[in-house]
Amino acid sequence: MSGQTLTRNALSGGEALAFAPLIWEFLPDFVRAMASTPFWLDTTTALRLLGDGAGVASADAVVVPLAPETVDGLPRLSRGTAPEDLVHTTNTVSMVAMVARLATIGDLGIVAEIPGLDVLGAMFDRASTDELEDATSDLVRAALEAGADSVCVRTAPSGSLDRELDNVTALADFYGVTAMAVNDRSGAAGNSRCAVGVLGSDGTWPTSDRGIILTGGDVSRWWSPDDLRGVLSKRKTR
């Protein structure tokens, strides 16, 4: 069973258990590769790095952040950028292209990550709630039309999962995929379509035996590949 098939089974409430870690900020260092900064603007290089990272992590799916700068802090947006412009920025266009290429290759499941409303609100401090929700919908639609298997909203630490799911689940349902939300400690799926476990920085493996395992943060900030192999051994012996 390919990673993509397994991930889709897990996301649809089947018997499978899929692991989809976020490995991003220090991805080139994590896989001991040389890459220009920001590496995601070169789709071929980014795909190679993501594939290598998935291999190290024994991952079934890769997490592709559609606003990559938000992983480690607020992005530097051009002056005058509005929420509706976010989906058209160079960074997001590059990430959507990466989703499309990954969907064509078909080896790994694809979880498109969207910044939560609280994160967007900090990026666009004068934007209305309606503007932020519309920007989120634009990101979700772009990812799913490019072929993502699911979308996941990542909140600020301890952020509300219900609020984020309320904002994206209907659109995800329209495309026939699962919407998820995750913070640093827990995760959930829209309409409870699947179980969502969260692996935190303490390395304690969730007890889920089906569904999908996300990470509560960026693995490349937490662990070296050797550290991660130790965490993975807990999964194998659980």
Whether the upstream peptide bond of residue 38 has omega within 30° of 0, thus cis, is yes
Show me where the domains of the chain are located. Answer: 3-237
pLDDT at 238: 40
CA–CA distance from 219 to each of 10, 23, 161, 228 (Å)?
Answer: 21, 5, 21, 8
pLDDT at 126: 86
The whole-chain average pLDDT of the chain stands at: 92
User: What pLDDT digit, counting tens, does each position of 33-56 carry?
Assistant: 988 888 999 999 999 999 999 999
Q: State yes or no: pLDDT of 25 exceeds 60.
A: yes
Tokens of 145: 């039309």
User: What pLDDT digit, counting tens, does each position of 65-106 carry?
Assistant: 999 877 655 556 666 778 999 999 999 999 999 999 999 998
User: What pLDDT digit, counting tens, does each position of 103-155 carry?
Assistant: 999 899 999 999 999 989 888 888 999 999 999 999 999 999 999 999 999 99
User: What percentage of residues in the chain have a pLDDT greater than 90?
Assistant: 80
pLDDT at 78: 66
CATH code of domain 3-237: 3.20.20.210
pLDDT at 73: 56
Q: How far apart are the first and last CA of the chain?
A: 22
Residues 41, 144, 178: CA angle, nearest 5 degrees: 125
d(CA 64, CA 114): 9
pLDDT at 236: 58
What global pTM score does this model have? Answer: 0.94
pLDDT at 231: 93
Which element (helix H / strand E) includes 31? none
CA–CA distance from 153 to each of 102, 129, 143, 221, 224 (Å)?
Answer: 20, 16, 12, 19, 25
Q: Check residues 237 and 41 and name the one with the higher pLDDT.
A: 41
Residues forming beta bridges with residue 114, ordered by sequence position: 153
Query: What is the 8-class DSSP label of residue 78?
Result: P
Judged by DSSP in three states, 27 sits in helix
Max Cα–Cα distance, the chain, nearest Å:
52
Closest to 63 in 3D by CA, of 77, 85, 39, 46: 46
Q: State yes or no: pLDDT of 223 exceeds 90.
A: yes
Burial class (CB in 10 A: 0-12, 13-18, 19+), 102: buried
Residues 171, 172, 174: CA angle, nearest 5 degrees: 65
